[in-house]
Amino acid sequence: MEINVNGVTRAIASPPLTPLLHVLREELNILSPKIGCEQGACGTCTVLVDGEPRRSCLMPVISLDAASVTTVEGLGAPGDLSPVQAAFHEHYAAQCGYCTGGMLMAAQGLLERNGGPVERGQVIEALGAHICRCTGYVKIVDAVMAASRGEVDVAKLDELAEPEPGQPALEIPGSPA
């Protein structure tokens, strides 16, 4: 069986009823979708399937025939963040980071559907089924709204991409950035 993840078609060996979450993490080593409740209630495993947010813990890989899956790793890369990733960084929207991947994907889905600035209520509705224990969601909602309006200081982010002379580059696998 093959699935398209982040623009790359990958052969997988997992049985057809294996949840996409387990295929992504265990077989493809894509670590941004987190294992949370495994019942579809917390949102930490959210990915985009054909542009729509879906809970990967509930989705058997057999259901992905000809679908395109996008994870945080497909949004951007260090030094080339997507607007929503950059806005989360600028607005300090990530606390411990556990829920961040799912929040980013739900926000990206909202921004793609809307195609322009979003209202606070739209963001709250889009993120309503995502559980975060670290924050009151204010910074997250503000970040999504800023991303929708294009209020991201890309020049500032370019400076962060390059380590200072003599400092090693820092890249953490599975990180939202």
CATH number at residue 53: 3.10.20.30
Count other C-beta atoms under 10 Å from residue 81's C-beta. 23
Same domain? 126 vs 108 = yes
Same domain? 90 vs 120 = yes
Confidence of residue 152 (pLDDT cuts 50, 70, 90): confident
pLDDT 10s digits, 112-147: 999 999 999 999 999 998 998 887 799 999 999 999
What is residue 8's three-state secondary structure?
strand
Q: How far apart are CA 76 and CA 177, in angstroms?
A: 7
Confidence of residue 6 (pLDDT cuts 50, 70, 90): very high
pLDDT 10s digits, 81-97: 999 999 999 999 988 88
Query: Which is more confidently placed, 152 or 4?
Result: 4
Count other C-beta atoms under 10 Å from residue 62's C-beta. 14
Residue at 166 is within a domain: no
Confidence of residue 41 (pLDDT cuts 50, 70, 90): very high
What pLDDT, on a 0 to 100 scale, did the predictor assign at position 153? 77
Please give the DSSP secondary-structure letter assigned to residue 162: S
Residue at 30 is within a domain: yes
Same domain? 56 vs 89 = no
Contact 81, 157 (CB under 8 A): yes
Same domain? 38 vs 65 = yes
Q: How far apart are CA 104 and CA 177, in angstroms?
A: 10
Residue at 173 is within a domain: no
Same domain? 56 vs 107 = no
Q: How far apart are CA 48 and CA 90, in angstroms?
A: 23
Q: How far apart are CA 128 and CA 122, in angstroms?
A: 10
Q: How far apart are CA 140 and CA 100, in angstroms?
A: 9
Residue where a domain terminates, one of 27, 42, 74? 74
Same domain? 124 vs 58 = no
**Domain span holding position 120:** 83-161
Residue 5 has pLDDT above 90, yes or no: yes
Same domain? 46 vs 108 = no
Rounded to 5 degrees, what angle do the CA atoms 138, 141, 119 make? 125
What pLDDT, on a 0 to 100 scale, did the predictor assign at position 176? 44
